[in-house]
Amino acid sequence: MSKPAWIIVGAGFTGAVVAERIASVLDERVLVVDRRDHIAGNAYDYRGENGLLIHKYGPHIFHTNSKRVWDYLSRFTEWRNYFHKVLGHIDGQLVPVPFNLNSIAQLFPSGMADRLSEKLVARYGFGTKVPILKMRADADEDLKFLSDYVYRKVFETYTLKQWELRPEELDPSVSARVPVHVSRDDRYFQDSYQAMPVDGYTAMFRKILNHQNISVELSTNYKDVCGDFKSARVIYTGPIDEYFNYSHGQLPYRSLQFKHVPYSQEFAFPVGTVNYPNEFDFTRVTETKHLTGDRGPLSLLTQEYPEAYVPGTNEPYYPIPTTATSEALRPYRNLARELDGQVWFAGRLGDYAYYNMDQACARAIALFDKQIAPVRQNGGRGQASRLA
């Protein structure tokens, strides 16, 4: 492969999709580098010794309302329809999460459950989703009781374990990701498209990156190769503060440790994931066979243990969305704008944003369509914003 016109740092969703777009549409050479020894980023999966597909970095369930994202990824994989369901261990019972009318019926005496459900429907409407912090502000005595119960039993302790912060200290978008559902729909997501890649995520990424204009170098640090291709433009999907050598301080992230535990029976759980908001050090346990469709006499359970991110020790999984971190990000955004179209930052770590997989894919497509392609078609002239 001749000298690349582009270096893309990170072979996860954002990096791989941008690489494919540049290679296919612009017919330009792309070098994708990743410091890990595999493609697919945190969506990486592989076959374990017992033949089961393992999600190394925890469960990844694809869901989206974007037909464009769905159609794009469908070029690189067939899908297995899958509706993810989650149970929460609450007061000694396994109840549907997100909390809904079925959860109420299971946890409370029938008369009380009926009264609470009727008031929820009357107040918010059947089929709606209500953020827990909004519900806590309700003046009705019964709904206040219910919201306080759900807050304590489902949100508060889980959030403390996951983030080491209380729900009120985080951006409201975090608690809004798992609202109370005023319905009996036990699916964790209600998106129009919900499925799993038939052969797994890694196989899908291989096809995305399988282009004559794309070269991939793994176990490679960007700083070790950037000097060899000084004229190349860069898409950087790693931590934005790391790129600038933490010149304005280290941005906070949350990390995770995963423990993959063999299970000697066909299934341990009736659903894909069980959350433990109040007990144990882990937040949830996932039985990946439900997700992948694997069958056989054995199973595998993946436990997730949240922890603080320490550079060089573990991985930065989640930017921490608070008012303080928004302010801490500002000087790095300003530095990014000074790079005059030579470097673009994107993805969960590059944008310092809490993206789902489909959002990371959509971000990559939008970055190419709105910024990269117009600049290249203009001969590289003109102002380009690196942070949409």
Place 377 in a pLDDT band, splitting at 50, 70 and 90: low
Q: How confident is the model at residue 386 (pLDDT cuts 50, 70, 90)?
A: very low
Q: Name the one residue in this structure whose structure tokens are 């149970």.
A: 87
What mean pLDDT do residues 368-373 have?
93
Query: Torsions phi, psi of 152, nearest 5?
Result: -70, -40
Is residue 36 within 8 Å of 237, Cβ to Cβ?
no
pLDDT above 60 for 260: yes
- DSSP state at residue 236: E
Nearest to 2 by CA among 267, 290, 276, 214: 214
Q: Residue 381: is its pLDDT beyond 70?
A: no
**Selected residue with higher pLDDT from 197 and 133:** 197
Residue-by-residue DSSP string for 133-191: HHHTT---HHHHHHHHHHIIIIIIHHHHHHHSS-GGGS-HHHHHTSPEESSS--BS---
Average pLDDT, the chain: 94
Confidence label for 376 from pLDDT (cuts 50, 70 and 90): low
| Helix or strand run (H / E) with residue 235 | strand 233-236
Indicate if the pLDDT at residue 382 is higher than 70: no
Q: Measured between alpha carbons, how far is 351 from 239 in angstroms, rounded to an integer?
A: 8
Q: What is the largest CA-CA distance in the chain?
A: 73
Could you give the CA distance from residue 91 to residue 31 in angstroms, rounded to a whole number? 52
Contact 238, 12 (CB under 8 A): no
pLDDT at 258: 98
Region 142-166 average pLDDT: 95
Residue 259, pLDDT above cutoff 90: yes
> What is the Cα–Cα distance from 346 to 164, expressed in whole angstroms?
26
Q: How many CB atoms lie within 10 A of CB 111?
A: 8
Domains of the chain: which residue ranges? Answer: 1-39+209-249+319-388, 86-181
Cα–Cα distance measured from residue 106 to residue 93, given in angstroms and rounded to the nearest whole number: 8
Tell me: the pLDDT tens digits for 296-331? 999 999 999 999 999 889 999 999 999 999 999 999
Q: Give me the amino acid identity at 89.
A: H
Grade residue 387 by pLDDT with cuts at 50, 70 and 90. Answer: very low
- pLDDT single digits (tens) 173-182: 887 778 999 9
Q: How confident is the model at residue 1 (pLDDT cuts 50, 70, 90)?
A: low
CB 262 within 8 Å of CB 219:
no
Considering the four listed CATH numbers 3.20.20.140, 3.40.50.720, 3.30.9.10, 3.40.50.800, the one that applies to the domain covering 1-39+209-249+319-388 is: 3.40.50.720
pLDDT > 70 in the chain, percent: 96
pLDDT at 388: 34
% of the chain beyond a pLDDT of 90: 87
Q: Three-state SS string across 55-124, please?
A: ECCCCCCEEECCHHHHHHHHCCCCEEECCCEEEEEECCEEEEECCCHHHHHHHCCHHHHHHHHHHHHHHH
Q: How far is CA 112 from CA 108, 119, 239, 277, in A?
A: 6, 11, 49, 24
How confident is the model over 34-57, as pLDDT tens digits?
A: 999 999 999 999 999 889 999 999
Cβ proximity of 377 and 383 under 8 Å: no
Q: Which pLDDT does position 68 carry in this prediction?
A: 98
How does residue 217 score in pLDDT terms, banded at 50, 70 and 90?
A: very high
